[in-house]
Amino acid sequence: MIFAAAARFAGAFVLILLGAIIVLLFLGGLGAFSRFGPIFLVSAAWDPVKEVFGAAVPIYGTVVTSILALIMAVPIAFGIAFYLTELAPVWLRRPVGTAVELLAAVPSIIYGMWGFFVIAPVMAEYIQPFFIDSFEGIPILEDLFAGPPFGTGILTASLILAVMVIPFIAATMRDVFETVPPVYKESAYGVGCTTWEVMRSIVIPYTRVSVVGGIMLGLGRALGETMAVTFVIGNTNRITTSLFGPGNTIASIVALEFPESPAGSLKLSSLLALGFILFVISFIVLAISRLLLRPRLKT
């Protein structure tokens, strides 16, 4: 009885805490929502002097950097998990797995400093000039990789985020791949399947729900990352079509602007509204993932 009551209280407490956070953010941002209305979501303005604020730029930066980070991180994380569960010798699996998991323990500010002092100079000197010269004159790609090679920007921030989320996704994939009953894989090998065919036809279908959950976990980390992104994204309040251009995310602009926002000001209300929007984006992403998985779960 005591344990059951404690478990119910723990579950209820989580829901109450979650609801309290949502209500607090909404009430805090109500001033900005009332002042600017729906225009707040699509406006690119951010002028504290004139007290004109908009959420379009940080929303754009948050979504783009997170999606790019997943595009880079998921294949690498899958390769790591595939190697550790199917290809690596037994004596090597634990050291490599531990090394990957240790990446998750590195503080985000360390990633930010590494990105600013190591990755950004490499991007400015080698990577960005190469892409700018290679795609010059090619429609779409020329605009996508345009701009002066400063080293910082949306692509650099996405690269840092990708490195940060790889350990979460890889560790989850490795753990769920190991839950596949050995008899399933042995049966596939017995009828002549290759290692990749076993992975594609047996392991991935058996673990697809958990794999998507691991990817969503990485996406959640990318959406809310603050200091690492702040170091390398450029912190400019404008929307650019170039991946080399500077930008902002919701987390980075809140971190930079919050200490300078007086209590009760419209600026503080706008920052709290951005926090509420970030919460909603995260909820929508998780809801969409569940909707996409529902037909497969029934089969």
The answer to the question of residue 95 being in a domain is yes
The answer to the question of residue 10 being in a domain is no
Q: Name which residue leads in pLDDT, 9 or 68.
A: 68
The Cα–Cα gap between 179 and 212 comes to: 15
The answer to the question of residue 253 being in a domain is yes
The answer to the question of residue 132 being in a domain is yes
Structure-derived torsion over alpha carbons of residues 254, 255, 257, 258, reported in degrees to the nearest 10? 80
CB 247 within 8 A of CB 240: yes
> By residue range, what is the domain housing residue 95?
59-271
CB atoms inside a 10 Å sphere around CB 58: 24
The answer to the question of residue 17 being in a domain is no
**Chain segment 246-259, per-residue pLDDT in tens:** 989 998 998 888 87
The answer to the question of residue 129 being in a domain is yes
**Chain segment 274-288, per-residue pLDDT in tens:** 999 998 888 887 777
Q: Given this model, what pLDDT does residue 231 score?
A: 92
The Cα–Cα gap between 297 and 299 comes to: 6
The answer to the question of residue 255 being in a domain is yes
For 143, 152, 154, 156, the CA distances from 69, given in Å and listed in that order, are 20, 15, 10, 10
* Helix, strand and coil percent figures for the chain, each rounded to 5: 75, 0, 20
Kindly write down the DSSP assignment for every residue of 116-180, as one continuous string: IIIIHHHIIIIIHHHHHHHTTT-TTHHHHT-S---S-SHHHHHHHHHHHHHHHHHHHHHHHHTTS
Mean pLDDT over residues 70-81, rounded?
Answer: 93
CB 120 within 8 A of CB 156: yes
What DSSP designation does 83 have? I
Q: pLDDT tier at 290 (50, 70, 90 boundaries)?
A: low
Q: Given this model, what pLDDT does residue 206 score?
A: 87
Q: Given this model, what pLDDT does residue 292 score?
A: 57
Residue among 278, 281, 161, 285 at smallest CA distance from 216: 285
Q: Given this model, what pLDDT does residue 298 score?
A: 46
3-state secondary structure of 48: coil
Domain total for the chain? Answer: 1
How many residues are given for the chain? 299
Token pair, residue 17, equals 């805490």
Mean pLDDT of the chain: 87
The Cα–Cα gap between 115 and 234 comes to: 12
The answer to the question of residue 30 being in a domain is no
The CATH number of the domain where 241 resides is what? Answer: 1.10.3720.10
Q: Given this model, what pLDDT does residue 241 score?
A: 85
pTM above the 0.85 mark? yes
CB 29 within 8 A of CB 208: no
Mean pLDDT over residues 48-75, rounded?
Answer: 91
Among 5-14, 62-71, 75-84, 290-299, name the one with the lowest average pLDDT.
290-299
Half-sphere exposure of residue 276, counting CA atoms within 13 Å on the CB side? 22
